[in-house]
Structure 1
Amino acid sequence: MTMTPDSIRRRLLLGAALAAPALRTGRAQANGEVIVRTPGGAYDDVMRRVVYDPFTAETGIRVTPVAATGAKLIAMVRANNVELDLIDTGDAQLLTLERLGALAPIAYDRWRWTKPEDITREVRLTHRVGNFTYASVLAYNTETFPGDAHPNSWADFWDAGKFPGPRMLADIASASVNFEFALLADGVPKDQLYPIDVDRALRVMARIRPSIRRFWDTGALAAQMLSDKEVVAGSIWNGRLQTLIDRNAPLGYTWNQHMIQVQALGVFKDARNVEGAQKLADFMLQPRMQAQYAKALIYGATNERAFDLLTPAEVARMPGGENSRRLGFYQDIAWWHENRDRVSRAWSRWLLR
């Protein structure tokens, strides 16, 4: 039996639809559906409660979240068979899709729930818009380094004599190597990190390598190494770390010299429901929505008005605010996109030395 594109689409999405029941009112059926790529898991639970169900109640458009890898998204484009409408993923993956010509411009001029000028300038781009930020921070064990006697900069992290103990840093398999932190440790100002001097970064990495227990490739591994005290200091994503701290793990971190990273939204230009996807992006980014899911997920808001709806204690746990931008820096994903293959080859050779 020959399957039509619509039958294929229904079969692919059946499992996701059953796992995340939609509001199937008459109004929702009439106004359609937005299929959104998401990270899945607890993220979907929060977004269903905070964003998707209220969006359906407001517009009649139901939302079906579907997990998909970056490779799957690219395969859809190359096969000319786009099965999704809105993409909620890392900014780097969206940049790849943008350069393939797969994304529609964000319809800022038609927004009615969110004011475009309230979105942080660095993440308000033509074909993608940040919906939250996270950060790579310098974490440490508070039993090993009690009180103020802890590393407070990447230069401190590289000083294994003053701050002894096994360490960890990110591997290329995590998305990118921590070359930015190596250059900061070597005295490069944060506004001069890019373009990255790869040879210099590798020379600096060589100085700390004897103290590196492992280069981590997943957030789960980084969290486990800190939690098990396999390492006493290292880079880690702030959300993973905060979860451990909230469970009373003896861990701390500094916002000094943290690297801000972005999760963003993009709309497939060949999506079946471009208009609905644009509406969902607009709805998701309004201050009250962002404040709720940023708080629940320990991410940073990209709508600067959202911070006004959070307590100082809640803001202190999040990247992306005014203080965060002063102490940290945004990762240059365009540089990484253009240089990833070269870095990967150089990194692999360096590891074998």
Structure 2
Amino acid sequence: MNTRRHKFAVIAAAAVMIAGAAWSARAADVVITGSGGPPQDAQRKAMWQPAAKALGITFDEDTSQSWTDAKAQVDSGSVTWDIVNFNMGEVPQAVAAGILVKLPADIVDRTQYAPGSVSDYCIGNSAFSEVMGYNTAKFGDKGPKNMAEFFDTKKFPGKRGMNRAVKGNAEAAALALGKAQNEVYSFLATDEGQKEALDKLSELKPSVTWWDSGSQLTQLIVDKEVDLAYGWDGRLNAAITAGAPWKIVYQDGILQTDCYAILKGSPHPENALKFLKEILKPEYSKDMVKYVAYGPSDLRAYKSMDPAVLSKLTLAPQNLVGQYPQDPAFWGANGAKLSEAFDAMLLK
């Protein structure tokens, strides 16, 4: 477990010295996890801090990169987290594992949220996309325009930064094989389709630098260690903000949602629900864009947004053209099998 914690309560210095970090964790009214890096920083500043102040409570935070971290806590019977951040594609697996609390049906108005960003167990906090991008200093404006071209190493030579995970990459490989966006998941649902997709990824392997976190992806771009990349648009935008001469291509991007859930066995269940209801209010989530290029899932937050800011976000109308939504149900049914096959492919 990562232990990057931020305590937002006044604790006497002597008590901190005597009790230490473990006492601090127990003293908080609620504990929430994020995905780390700029997205977590943005949620803390825009949502968690003002919500905690409004409620008059304290919170601790932690980071997690996978739903399996939460599962490990529940399985061990030592749950220290209350609210957990998941990718919506992970939720079916977490629900099947029995580690999440079913949320009240009226916790949010689903009609005000982007399609697919609310389930019975998880409420969307941010919308993002897995997209391609390229170095304009190398390719000018003539970089790859779709996923088939991204996989074309002859036409577009150079190192590609890609996530060390099958989710997203399997869909990309299906598109590179000539499948239409509306055929991707039916193709990947077959044994032959899965094999062909993994073989396509294996072919690209010599040209890939695999990254394990969004911050690593941004750094690879800034340090000029990759010429092309496939990853989260907010992380590519962070590299561009840092001065990297890159262009983002939204064509063939996979629309996704990160969401908040309450962990079964939460040490502060009442506070967790109260805090979750508060941080989801659009008056908080609209300010996320001040700190990171990810927009909220609540569509009400976009009503008064500056057009220049909106243009950099996943849900901007001009960016939505050419994208398609990820299918959480597919990954709930096939995630474990494909993850094992992907890991085996990497070891070959």
Match of 2:7 in 1: 20
Q: Does 1:74 align with 2:71?
A: yes
TM-score of the superposed pair, with normalisation by structure 1: 0.80
Residues 34-85 of structure 1: per-residue CA shift (max 9 Å, x gap): 2212234555544343223322332223222233564442122123343222
Structure 2 CA distance for aligned equivalents of residues 42 and 120 of structure 1: 22
Work out which structure has the larger RCO, using CA pairs closer than 8 Å and 6 or more positions apart in sequence.
2
TM-score of the superposed pair, with normalisation by structure 2: 0.81
8 Å CA contact 1:132–1:301 kept in 2: the answer is: yes
8 Å CA contact 2:219–2:239 kept in 1: the answer is: no
Match of 2:110 in 1: 116
Match of 1:329 in 2: 324
Match of 2:25 in 1: none
Q: 1:105 to 1:71 in 2, by over 3 A?
A: closer
Deviation at 1:191, TM superposition (A): 1.9
Number of residue pairs matched by the alignment: 326
Match of 2:86 in 1: 89
Question: Which of 178, 196, 200 is residue 204 of structure 1 equivalent to?
Answer: 200
8 Å CA contact 1:155–1:186 kept in 2: the answer is: yes
Unaligned residue ranges in structure 2 (runs of 5+): 12-27
Match of 1:135 in 2: 129
Alignment of 1:239-254 (within 5 A): 239-254=234-249
Structure 2 CA distance for aligned equivalents of residues 68 and 159 of structure 1: 34
Q: 1:284 to 1:191 in 2, by over 3 A?
A: farther
Q: 1:242 to 1:122 in 2, by over 3 A?
A: same
Residues 271-326 of structure 1: per-residue CA shift (max 9 Å, x gap): 24333322322222222211101341211210111111311221121113454444
Match of 2:97 in 1: 100
Q: Which amino acid aligns with 2:112?
A: D
Structure 1 CA distance for aligned equivalents of residues 46 and 218 of structure 2: 27
Question: Which of 258, 264, 277 is residue 259 of structure 2 equivalent to?
Answer: 264
Q: Does 1:163 align with 2:163?
A: no
- Secondary structure at the aligned position of 1:103 is classed as coil
Match of 2:309 in 1: 314
Structure 2 CA distance for aligned equivalents of residues 218 and 273 of structure 1: 29
8 Å CA contact 2:38–2:291 kept in 1: the answer is: no
8 Å CA contact 1:23–1:56 kept in 2: the answer is: no
Deviation at 1:248, TM superposition (A): 1.8
Q: Which amino acid aligns with 2:45?
A: R
- Secondary structure at the aligned position of 1:21 is classed as coil
| Percent identity between the two aligned chains | 25
Alignment of 1:207-218 (within 5 A): 207-209=203-205, 212-218=207-213
Residues 240-278 of structure 1: per-residue CA shift (max 9 Å, x gap): 211111122111111111112321111134324333322
RMSD: 3.0
- Secondary structure at the aligned position of 2:9 is classed as coil
Max Rg structure: 1
Question: Which of 212, 221, 224 is residue 226 of structure 1 equivalent to?
Answer: 221
Structure 1 CA distance for aligned equivalents of residues 87 and 221 of structure 2: 24
Q: Which amino acid aligns with 1:303?
A: D
Q: Does 1:186 align with 2:210?
A: no
Greater shift, 126-135 or 85-94, is seen at 85-94
Structure 2 CA distance for aligned equivalents of residues 67 and 348 of structure 1: 24
Q: 1:75 to 1:162 in 2, by over 3 A?
A: closer
